[in-house]
Structure 1
Amino acid sequence: MLVLTDRQKDILKIIIRDYTRTGMPVGSKALASEFPTHVSSATVRNDMAALESKGLIAKTHFSSGRVPSMRGYRYYVDNLVQPDPLDDSAEDLIKSSFNSEFNRIDEIVQESAKVLSDLTNYMAVTFNPEPGSNLKLGGFRLVKLDERQVMAIIVTNTGHVVNKIFRLTNVSSEQLETIVNIINSELVGKPLTQVAEKLRVDLPLLMTKYIQTPEGFLKIFGEMLNEAGRDRVHVDGELNLLQFAERQNLDRLKPLYNLLDTEGTVQKIINPNSHDVQVRIGSELPNDLLKDYSIITGTYDLNEYGQGVIAVIGPTRMPYSKIIGIVGALREELTKKLLGYYDDN
């Protein structure tokens, strides 16, 4: 456990604050001038040397000043940060955004990604609540488009819609309507896990009465159930990463964007191990492309309706107090909005 004097803590806070604001190393003379009480530059230099020996700050090649190290950021976040309260404009933005009319859970969580990106000016990622056993089949439709093509539509109890077009020949509109009626009467209102089991065990024999070779239809139906049951990921503000990339690291942006463009990879990267607001910094993240970035996550809990996550991806040189405060406040408002949606539906 690192032990710092109060003055060393203050120096670390000032270095991180100034470096966050300017991106420039911080020198002892500038530090001494920012103390509320008189402190000599020599005293500050001694304390900076102590912080450097503990690995909390580091010297750069092109300046006599110091910058925070990853270890310094970690100590700062764990021991010195206090979340900032939202200012009035941020509160107004959240309230006005969530006061809109929403027809699906997807729309609310997508809106939260936009709000989070707008408030932080960083990349935001938000996840729908994990479906679990509460995700149920809300409705099923088959629409004949022509003699060869049919559109299948699944609606879940949360309002999520999945549709696919597939080939199905030698089936009349009346037969399709019968299939729809059977599925809706037998399966609507049941958890998707039970629907998938019936799809495997009970439906094949039943469907042969109406479709000569039902395997293709059942395969499509199964794929749609899997898609409806997957966590949904919403991203906003990807281009914000550009403005914080160091000139020498611009060539890392393309592979970073490719990494963050894959839904499964994003889930693995964001995946928090805490229900609180959590900060992971640089080398703590599971990919070397993220070594100059931090991810702040907040888990929202909807009780029996599951849990979801909101997250901010930004440079390690970010104003942690402000961003932690925003993530904490937004997850509370998102929780209220989603619970209200479930109560109304």
Structure 2
Amino acid sequence: MLTKRQNLILKSIIEEYIKTALPVGSKRIQEVLTMEVSSATIRNESAFLEEQGFLEKAHTSSGKVPSTKGYRYYVDNLMESNNIEDIKVQINEIFKKRGATIDEILEKTSSILSEMTKLATVVATSEINGELLLSKIELIPISSKSAVVIFVLSNGAIENKNISLDSISLEELRLSIDLFNERLINSKISEIETKSQAMIPVLRQQVKKYEFVLQTLIGALIHTDSNKSRTSGVKYLLENPEFNDAKKIKDIIQFIENASPFVWFNYQSKTNKTTVAIGLETGNQNDDIAVIGTNFPTKGGGKGALALVGPKRIEYDKVSKLLEWISNKIEEKFLLEGE
């Protein structure tokens, strides 16, 4: 564990970087710290934090920026509840509207969240598929750069998923599908997510990019006709300086379109109603991305997910408390009231 002073310095750097998207130098750290520390001490402690992997040196400045490890430590140990009352007031008015359906409420809530946080909002709902089973998984190489994975369901339906071999090798993909066929065939679609979690230790041993496999293949499999997904606020997301070139824009849009919000959160520890995936924890190869979201039950035994996607500079404290509050509001309105 870090010392109290190291915690304060790391917390100050992360929160300043979240606000400005600019590398944080020792002079600025000294200005925002809540304790008296010399510039020399700040430089020494910052160097230690960089050496331990919590910080990274900016390419064009003497300042520091947080690493994925630093953000994870901040989320798990340092962040505090932030003022979110202004957003709550607006969203609360939506929930008060009589006769509003859950879809209408989530659509309007998503618009407010994206506009005020500058993040993309993804809402997904999944209803129970009864006794629908997974019958078979097949891999069809298309070229040296792509392949198609085919899922055959017990009702005859077929789900296809195109896979770029830039993200994973054909051999790793083949090994993964062999494991899936061995362990998931004849499983109910509603049980696939739980069973796939039990496969993680075996998959990790044989497949280097096992997170990508879980995110991509399981996400595609559970995306049947009974599942709905809607994204809003991409235009606000692209205002962030992290996504200032064509490749990064393409990467994050593909990430949002191809992954399932349910899968994003299934492989993370759950200490409360909100869960955070940072950088490579999302299963995406772009380490600039972070996802924070919550799951909630829907009427009829289904489930929903509300996620915000953006750069690693997400205001984790504000957003996590806000999503937890929204999840509770959904349960109160549509489950406790029986609407």
TM band (smaller chain): 0.5 to 0.7
Change (3 A) 1:129 1:332: farther
Q: CA offsets per residue over residues 192-239 of structure 1, 9 Å max, x none?
A: x9xxxxxxxxxxxxxxxxxxxxxxxxxxxxxxxx99961211221111
Alpha-carbon distance in 2 for matches of 1:228, 1:49: 49
The one-letter amino acid paired with 1:127 is: A
Alpha-carbon distance in 2 for matches of 1:129, 1:108: 17
Deviation at 1:32, TM superposition (A): 1.9
Q: Which runs of 5+ in 2 are unaligned?
A: 131-188, 190-221
Change (3 A) 1:269 1:248: farther
The reply to whether residue 117 of structure 1 matches residue 114 of structure 2 is yes
2:104 is matched with 107
- 3-state DSSP of counterpart to 2:56: strand
1:50 is matched with 48
Q: 2:14 aligns with which of 8, 13, 16?
A: 16
Deviation at 1:339, TM superposition (A): 1.5
- 3-state DSSP of counterpart to 2:82: coil
- Does the Cα contact within 8 Å between 2:122 and 2:261 map onto a contact in 1? no
1:319 is matched with 315
- Does the Cα contact within 8 Å between 1:280 and 1:296 map onto a contact in 2? yes
Deviation at 1:279, TM superposition (A): 0.6
Deviation at 1:59, TM superposition (A): 1.1
Deviation at 1:318, TM superposition (A): 1.9
Considering only aligned residues, what root-mean-square deviation do their CA atoms show, in Å?
2.8
The one-letter amino acid paired with 1:326 is: L
The reply to whether residue 95 of structure 1 matches residue 92 of structure 2 is yes
Larger Rg: 1
- Does the Cα contact within 8 Å between 2:115 and 2:236 map onto a contact in 1? no
2:36 is matched with 38
Change (3 A) 1:270 1:119: farther
- Give the share of equivalent positions with the same residue, in percent: 31
Change (3 A) 1:305 1:53: same
Change (3 A) 1:99 1:108: same
Deviation at 1:4, TM superposition (A): 0.5
TM-score by length of 1: 0.64
Q: Which runs of 5+ in 1 are unaligned?
A: 134-192, 194-225
The reply to whether residue 232 of structure 1 matches residue 225 of structure 2 is no
Deviation at 1:64, TM superposition (A): 1.2
Change (3 A) 1:120 1:334: farther
Higher mean C-alpha deviation, range 44-53 or range 97-106:
97-106
Change (3 A) 1:276 1:227: closer
Q: 1:127 aligns with which of 113, 124, 129?
A: 124
The reply to whether residue 278 of structure 1 matches residue 272 of structure 2 is no
The one-letter amino acid paired with 1:257 is: I
What is the number of equivalent residue pairs in this alignment? 246
Change (3 A) 1:334 1:80: same
Alpha-carbon distance in 1 for matches of 2:254, 2:47: 41
- 3-state DSSP of counterpart to 1:246: helix
- 3-state DSSP of counterpart to 1:128: strand
- 3-state DSSP of counterpart to 2:266: coil
The reply to whether residue 330 of structure 1 matches residue 301 of structure 2 is no
Change (3 A) 1:279 1:267: closer
Q: CA offsets per residue over residues 98-123 of structure 1, 9 Å max, x none?
A: 22344644333333323432442311
2:177 is matched with none
Change (3 A) 1:103 1:249: same
Alpha-carbon distance in 2 for matches of 1:127, 1:83: 26
The reply to whether residue 6 of structure 1 matches residue 4 of structure 2 is yes
Alpha-carbon distance in 2 for matches of 1:115, 1:335: 20
1:292 is matched with 288
Alpha-carbon distance in 1 for matches of 2:275, 2:93: 27
Deviation at 1:322, TM superposition (A): 1.1
Alpha-carbon distance in 2 for matches of 1:103, 1:295: 28
Change (3 A) 1:227 1:9: closer
Q: CA offsets per residue over residues 42-75 of structure 1, 9 Å max, x none?
A: 1111211211111101112221111111111111
Alpha-carbon distance in 2 for matches of 1:128, 1:108: 13
- 3-state DSSP of counterpart to 1:30: helix
- Does the Cα contact within 8 Å between 1:57 and 1:69 map onto a contact in 2? yes
TM-score by length of 2: 0.65
- Does the Cα contact within 8 Å between 1:125 and 1:233 map onto a contact in 2? yes
Alpha-carbon distance in 1 for matches of 2:326, 2:84: 10
Q: 1:309 aligns with which of 297, 305, 309?
A: 305
The one-letter amino acid paired with 1:28 is: S
